[in-house]
């Protein structure tokens, strides 16, 4: 089962053999033996890639669950469910992970020397099962009801611009004014397209992504906005220092949508002690780290 799952995840028998550090012939023979044992074809092998048959897809899903159970029992046997030791994999968004989550992780590691942590940073939600992640920090509404979620805060979605740009171009009074306004767009799944809420009708208004500059990181968007390239829409914590320093100003505050929730999520309520210790340690500290963000300004409503 391990060889079959590795072959599917790596995309080829040869890549799976390299990952498992075994000869390709050994892996191929074992996959063939498995197909003979279950009495049906699980893989279709082409010159370029592996394809799962319908039965193979169901079998691989079941194999993953079985292997996870075996791994869990082995971890119990070596004490990971009673002593905090072993590796944790934690997925985070890039900027929130760098500024808010990583400091918590470094504090945690200082207290638990037998735990190792791998951090997966991506602004797209990483599947916990496919990535073998133990926990993840998620921004936005949760769509996966199978996850155990603990809310740790909220983050305002704000529009900012430099004082020089506002002096030169004028200050937008309504979201529709942005159609003709220079904009810097951070290409993010939870910030695109730009959305606003009408304060009286409670209707959502969308501004299409027609940027003067399109970037792939919030730092780049904030820097370009400071330089006067255009207004930009980001999470509040991405621009908090620049706003405090007077390099950027909030605009269109009364049209802000509701702040985005931030959750720490994991898969199972029956977890090894290393994960329980991490969650118990991280939750209050993340709440403290995010406590200054997410509040809509009184004047904006």
- Above 90 in pLDDT, residue 75? no
- Decide if domain 86-155+260-300 falls under CATH 3.40.190.10: yes
Angstrom distance (rounded) from CA 50 to CA 48: 7
The answer to whether residues 139 and 262 touch, using CB atoms and an 8 Å cutoff, is: yes
pLDDT tens digits, one per residue of 91-106: 998 888 888 999 999 9
> pLDDT value at position 293?
74
> pLDDT value at position 129?
78
Angstrom distance (rounded) from CA 173 to CA 275: 48
> pLDDT value at position 118?
93
- Within a 10 A sphere around the Cβ of 111, how many other Cβ atoms? 10
- Above 70 in pLDDT, residue 183? yes
Answer yes or no: same fold for 86-155+260-300 and 157-255: yes
Mean pLDDT to the nearest integer, 108-122: 91
pLDDT tens digits, one per residue of 126-156: 888 778 889 999 998 887 667 889 999 999 9
Angle between helices 2-10 and 54-77 (to 10 degrees): 120
Q: Tell me the whole-structure pTM to 2 decimals.
A: 0.67
Of 31-40, 74-83, 104-113, the poorest mean pLDDT is in: 74-83
Angstrom distance (rounded) from CA 235 to CA 250: 12
Q: Which CATH class is domain 2-77?
A: mainly alpha
Nearest residue to 263 (alpha-carbon basis) of 290, 239, 241: 290
Of 9-23, 45-59, 210-224, 249-263, the poorest mean pLDDT is in: 45-59
Q: Considering the domain 157-255, what is its CATH architecture?
A: 3-Layer(aba) Sandwich (3.40)
> pLDDT value at position 296?
52
Nearest residue to 207 (alpha-carbon basis) of 165, 244, 179: 179
> pLDDT value at position 300?
36
> pLDDT value at position 297?
47
Q: What ranges do the domains of the chain cover?
A: 2-77, 86-155+260-300, 157-255
Query: Exposed e or buried b for every residue in 247-275, given b needs 16+ CB within 10 A?
Result: bbbbbbebbbeebbbbbbbbbeeebbbbb
Q: CA separation (Å) from 86 to 81, 83, 170?
A: 10, 9, 56
């Amino acid at each position: 089962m391990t060889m079959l799952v590795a072959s599917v995840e790596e995309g080829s028998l040869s890549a799976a053999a390299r990952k498992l550090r075994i000869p390709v012939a050994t892996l191929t023979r074992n996959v063939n033996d498995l197909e003979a044992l279950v009495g049906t074809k699980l893989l279709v092998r082409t010159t370029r890639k592996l394809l799962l048959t319908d039965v193979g897809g169901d079998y691989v899903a079941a194999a993953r669950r079985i292997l996870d159970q075996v791994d869990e029992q082995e971890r119990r046997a070596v004490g990971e469910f009673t002593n905090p030791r072993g590796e944790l994999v934690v997925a985070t968004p890039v900027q929130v992970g760098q500024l808010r989550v990583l400091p918590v992780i470094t504090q945690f590691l200082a207290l638990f020397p037998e735990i190792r942590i791998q951090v997966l940073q991506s602004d797209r939600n990483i599947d916990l099962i496919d990535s073998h992640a133990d926990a993840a920090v998620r921004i936005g509404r949760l769509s996966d009801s199978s996850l155990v979620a603990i809310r740790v805060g909220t983050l305002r979605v704000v529009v900012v611009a430099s004082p020089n740009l506002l002096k030169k171009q004028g200050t937008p009074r309504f979201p529709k004014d942005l159609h003709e306004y220079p904009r810097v767009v951070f290409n993010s799944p939870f910030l695109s397209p730009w959305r606003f809420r009408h304060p009286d009708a409670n209707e959502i208004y969308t501004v299409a992504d027609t940027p003067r500059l399109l970037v792939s990181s919030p730092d780049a968007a904030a820097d370009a906005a400071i330089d006067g390239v255009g207004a930009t829409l980001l999470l509040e914590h991405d621009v908090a220092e620049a706003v405090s320093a007077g390099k950027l100003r909030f605009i269109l505050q009364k049209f802000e949508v509701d702040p985005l929730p931030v959750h720490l999520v994991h898969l199972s309520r029956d977890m090894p002690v290393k994960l329980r210790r991490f969650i118990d340690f991280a939750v209050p500290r993340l709440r403290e780290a995010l406590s200054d963000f997410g509040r809509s300004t009184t004047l904006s409503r």
